[in-house]
Amino acid sequence: MKTGGKLIVEALEANGVDRIFCVPGESYLAVLDALHDSNRIRTIVCRQEGGAAMMADCHGRLTGQPGICFVTRGPGATNASAGIHIAMQDSSPIIMFIGQIAGHAREREAFQEVNYKRFFGDIAKWVVEIDDAARIPELVTRAFAVATSGRPGPVIVSLPEDMLTSLAEAPEALPYTPVETSPGEAEMHKLAELLGNAKRPFVILGGSRWSAEAKSRLESAAETWALPVGVSFRRQMLFDHLHPCYAGDVGIGPNPKLATYIKQADLVLLVGGRFGEMPSSDYTLLKSPYPDQTLVHVHADANELGRVYRPTLAINASPEAFASAFAKLKPEATPDWADETERLHKAYLDWSTPPETGPGDVQMGPIMNYLESVLPDNAIMTNGAGNYASWVHRFHRFRRFATQAAPTSGSMGYGTPGAVAAKALFPDREVIAFAGDGCFLMNGQEFATAVQYDLPIIVIVVNNGIYGTIRMHQEREYPGRVSGTDLRNPDFAALARAYGGHGETVEKTAEFAPAFERARASRKPSLIEIKLDPEAITPTRTLTEIREKR
């Protein structure tokens, strides 16, 4: 006979879990107690459940294995919902365990009582409450299967407190069996035929369930077919940006030359992604529901095929399995679009060259150039939402898999917790979090987690004193009528030092490089605050130009 808490920890161990992210609660003391005896699971205690859930998301995003977090009922679970929404929209495998109220108090609106099936109904892939400790091995293993199969997503497991302390005899937990979905020969044959008839094809990569191997197989297939390849919003780690087939990021505000090419393409091969509102420029790059182009859509979840766009050919396969099959497919004749692919790559290189000048004393262009020259290919970049992120998305040339963690759902506050999870996974790699002044203070408290676990991340806070993205939209839609977008900020560098980290303030471009070197040398979690002129609201347009519609 074992307690429910012990059975939970055993089921996690059986499924290969080596770390959990948590904020403790009295509702799941029995699990915390069992973790005390586990020498296989590292407990990373966080400062807010939103941060813990985002760390779990980042872990799932970079490894493909479910990120695990534990939170308490009511306020813990509702705080965490920000990270659950990200995992849902971004198709990341995560499992969140919630300590639930005891059974006898149910339906009385007891202390911190929430019905999780209703609360998470729309933003989780599956929600389950375990009432009988004997069923823990079955239901936890199923949670892993659901989180990782088809289109991955967040699973919520609610654990009533009295169930966790009860004793039960349960079968031994066995690990989940991953489910693969491969393309059939007929589909690959049809793809070869469609490509053979195409004149202006384009490939867009997105979604999850990729790996370093799948990426390199897709790169070699692109080379064989001389295909131009773009990546979906914030899925930049899926293709080497210096590969001659790389055509750019199909995200917010794509390169106009690229957008024109996609609109005029006659075949689009969409692999792994949903091509949602952001990458599709509000469903205009491909017309929905009936695209003008021949559309070949490859997705691991049959429910995503034909959901928004009617494909000419639907291939129900994971990116991994598709990339393997595609790498074996050879063209009958030399494709005649190779010159176009070369031209698109050249256009990308021009587009991703940062501007030398801009308003104010600090220029982000040269700072990005500097970072490009010193960061190794395997450095990991994380960020949340804000205009500052366009500097990373447009000018950082991603080369390798597992080097990017940023929510496609456009959630603020992800950079710092994402960086903590990434550094815990890859202690030997450099991890750089980008944040705005608004974004950083949403989950900046997780800087304390970086300090607690000696995780020397470098957070770059681009401080323009405003919720810049919203100010930009405001000035465009309601010129001169500033409302609710000004910020009065703390001294961010001092804040980092108060946490026990290294802090620097940069007020001139030339100060950045030595500050960055000192941050690296400190071997402490570091924060570099860049004081950016609010006029530098985009890499190419000022706030005044936007207000005055110039």
Ligand X SMILES: Cc1ncc(C[n+]2csc(CCOP(=O)(O)OP(=O)(O)O)c2C)c(N)n1
Which residues would be at the binding site for ligand X (CB under 6 A)?
385-388, 410-413, 436-439, 462, 464, 466-470
Least distance CB 153 / ligand X (angstroms)? 19
**Closer CB to ligand X, 101 or 406, in the complex:** 406
Alpha-carbon distance values, 46 to 312, 398, 455 (Å): 47, 29, 13
518 C-beta neighbours (distance < 10 Å), count? 13
What is the full DSSP assignment across 314-350?
EEE--HHHHHHHHHH---SS--TTHHHHHHHHHHHHH
- What stretches of 101-153 adopt beta strand conformation (E)? 126-129
**Closer CB to ligand X, 8 or 441, in the complex:** 441
**Closer CB to ligand X, 210 or 467, in the complex:** 467
Least distance CB 249 / ligand X (angstroms)? 18
What are the backbone angles phi and psi of residue 333, rounded to the nearest 5°? -125, 165
Give residue 66's identity as a one-letter amino acid code.
P
Least distance CB 541 / ligand X (angstroms)? 13
Least distance CB 87 / ligand X (angstroms)? 14
Least distance CB 150 / ligand X (angstroms)? 27
Q: Residue 412 is inside which H or E element, if any?
A: none
Least distance CB 467 / ligand X (angstroms)? 4
**Closer CB to ligand X, 280 or 485, in the complex:** 485
Distance, CA of 257 to CA of 483 (rounded, Å):
35
**Closer CB to ligand X, 35 or 530, in the complex:** 530
Least distance CB 390 / ligand X (angstroms)? 8
Handedness of CA 284, 289, 294, 300 (dihedral sign): positive
Least distance CB 535 / ligand X (angstroms)? 12
Asked if 308 contacts 270 with a C-beta cutoff of 8 angstroms, the reply is no
Q: Per this entry, what is the length of the chain?
A: 550
Distance, CA of 422 to CA of 460 (rounded, Å):
16
Distance, CA of 245 to CA of 242 (rounded, Å):
8
**Closer CB to ligand X, 18 or 533, in the complex:** 533
94 strand-pairing partners: 67, 154
Least distance CB 433 / ligand X (angstroms)? 12
Give residue 300's identity as a one-letter amino acid code.
A
108 C-beta neighbours (distance < 10 Å), count? 9
Cα 8–chain centre separation: 27
Alpha-carbon distance values, 505 to 360, 452, 519 (Å): 15, 23, 11
Least distance CB 494 / ligand X (angstroms)? 18
Cα 73–chain centre separation: 25
Tokens 């000035």 appear where? 475
Least distance CB 164 / ligand X (angstroms)? 32
**Closer CB to ligand X, 267 or 466, in the complex:** 466
Helix (H, G, I), strand (E, B) or coil at 292: coil
Distance, CA of 297 to CA of 309 (rounded, Å):
9
**Closer CB to ligand X, 443 or 449, in the complex:** 443
Burial call 3-17: b when 16+ CB within 10 Å, e when fewer: bbbbbbbbbbbbbeb
Distance, CA of 484 to CA of 472 (rounded, Å):
12
400 C-beta neighbours (distance < 10 Å), count? 17
**Closer CB to ligand X, 262 or 466, in the complex:** 466
Asked if 124 contacts 155 with a C-beta cutoff of 8 angstroms, the reply is yes
Distance, CA of 260 to CA of 450 (rounded, Å):
44
Least distance CB 385 / ligand X (angstroms)? 4
Alpha-carbon distance values, 33 to 95, 141, 167, 171, 454 (Å): 20, 21, 14, 21, 24
**Closer CB to ligand X, 232 or 469, in the complex:** 469
What are the backbone angles phi and psi of residue 459, rounded to the nearest 5°? -100, 125
Least distance CB 472 / ligand X (angstroms)? 7
**Closer CB to ligand X, 305 or 406, in the complex:** 406
**Closer CB to ligand X, 371 or 385, in the complex:** 385
Least distance CB 71 / ligand X (angstroms)? 18
**Closer CB to ligand X, 83 or 272, in the complex:** 83
**Closer CB to ligand X, 210 or 414, in the complex:** 414
Give the residue from 493, 371, 500 showing the smallest Cα distance to 432.
371
